Amino acid sequence: MAGTGPEGASLLQSGVVAALVAAIVSLATLATTGRRARQDRQRELFAAAFETSIAYREFAYIVRRRKDDSPEEVRRISGPLSETQTRFRSLEARLRVEAPRVGAAYSKLVAETRAVAGAQIRVGWESPPLSPERTGRIEDVDFSSLAEPEAEYLHAVRDHLAFFPAWLRSIVRRLWGRAGNNSSTSA
C-alpha cells in the first residue's frame, strides 16, 4: 500500500506545506492587488477634491471677465459655480468616510477656500464687467493665504497613501528627532 510508510507521510507533509505556501502566496497577492486598487481609487478621489478647490478659485476670474450683467450671463456663471459648491460638499462627505484625516484636512481647505475665494468672487460681482479690450491680466486676486491649508491637505494625502501607516511614521519621526537631538548635543 502506497502512502502508509515513512515515505508516504513525508509525501503528505510535503503536499500540505506546498498547499499552505500556495495559499499564503495567493492571499498575499490578493491583498496587494486589493490595496493597489483601493489606493488608485483614493488617488483619483483626492485629486478630484483638490481640483474642485482650484476650480472654485477660478470663478474669481470668470466673474470679473463676464461680458455683462445680463440675467443670461449671470445664469451662465452661477450654474457651474453652484455645481462646484455642491461638489465641495459631496467630496467633503466622501473623504470623511474614506479617509477621516484627509477629510479633516480637506474640510479646512474648503472652509478657507470658500472664505478667501468667496470674498474674491463677491468683489468680482460687485465690480463692473471688464470691457472687451481689457481681457488681459487680473491682478487684484490673491490666493496666497491658501498655501498653508493646501499644503496640509497634500501632506495628509501623502501620509494616507504611504506604505507605512501615519501613526508608525509619526513615531519614527519623533524617535529620529530625539536621536538627532541627542547626537547634536553630545558633539
Residue 160 carries which side chain, given as an amino acid letter? H
Give me the pLDDT at residue 149, please. 97
Domain boundaries, the chain: 33-132+141-174
Reported confidence tier of residue 130, pLDDT bands at 50, 70, 90 = confident
**Tens-digit pLDDT profile for residues 32-43:** 666 677 778 899
pTM score above 0.75? no
Residue 186 has pLDDT above 60, yes or no: no
How far is 62 from 130, CA to CA, in rounded Å?
10
Give me the pLDDT at residue 19, please. 81
Residue 183 carries which side chain, given as an amino acid letter? S
Give me the residue label for grid cell 460638499: 89
Reported confidence tier of residue 89, pLDDT bands at 50, 70, 90 = very high
Average pLDDT over residues 66-89: 94
List Cβ neighbours of 116 (8 Å cut-off, separation of 6 or more).
143, 145, 146
3-state secondary structure of 138: coil
Average pLDDT over residues 68-96: 95
Residue 148 carries which side chain, given as an amino acid letter? E
Closest CA to 121 of 84, 91, 151: 84
DSSP string spanning 111-139?
HHHHHHHHHHHHHHHHSPPPPTT--S---
